[in-house]
Structure 1
Amino acid sequence: MSINAKHLATFILGAAAGVAAHKYLQTEEGEKLLEDLKTKANNLKAEAEGAIDKAPEYFEELKTKGAETLKGNFPDAEGFFKDLFEKFKGTKGSASSGTDVTTPTPDPIS
């Protein structure tokens, strides 16, 4: 890999920006900024930890209320989902169509 003038200029500009940021953070205004950032980060961390603690309760409530709302607005939904599950599970009656449809088994590759 060759280092050309573009790469060198990018490195020098990045280093200069780092030095300028360091100088700024050493001032009184920069220290205030750091303290504010630390306070906001700690508040965000506490809020996130609280949300993690409340998540199981929230999802249990969501499940309960969702089931109640579904049953209230669509009374036959439970039966529909049971029938649908049975169809996917393969326990539906075989006398419904009268024809036995089987899927062909592919030949193994030798």
Structure 2
Amino acid sequence: MSINAKHLATFILGAAAGVAAHKYLQSEEGEKLLEDLKTKANDLKAEAEGAIDKAPEYFDELKTKGSEALKTSFPDAEAFFKDLYAKFSGKGGTTETDVTVTPDPIS
């Protein structure tokens, strides 16, 4: 692989940006920026840890409310899903008709 002027220019610009960033972060304003970033990162970490602790309660509530809403909106949905599960798991079920798949004659 040959090194052409485009690659060399990209490398030089990247190195210059790195040097400029290093010099900026060594200044008082740069150190203040780093402290602010560390504070925000710690806040986000604490928020994420709190969300992880609350997740099981949230999903239990979601499951309960979701099943209640499903039962009130669709009263026969539970029987439908039980029959569907029984049909696909091979345990029988109370289905009215069996579905026969017909292959496409053109294939």
In which range does the TM-score fall when normalised by the shorter chain? 0.7 to 0.9
- Higher relative contact order (CA closer than 8 Å, sequence separation 6+): 2
* Residue in structure 1 matched with residue 64 of structure 2 by the alignment: 64
Q: TM-score, normalised by structure 2?
A: 0.81
Where do 5+ consecutive residues of structure 2 fail to align? 101-107
Larger Rg: 1
* Runs of 4+ that moved beyond 4 A: none
Give the fraction of aligned pairs with identical amino acids, expressed as a percent.
83
Q: Does 1:34 align with 2:58?
A: no
How many residues are treated as equivalent by the alignment?
96
Local SS of the residue matching 1:3: coil
Cα deviation for residue 14 of structure 1 reads 0.4
Structure 1, unaligned runs of 5 or more: 102-110
| Aligned residues: CA RMSD | 1.7
Indicate the SS of the match to 1:2. Answer: coil
| Structure-1-length-normalised TM-score | 0.79
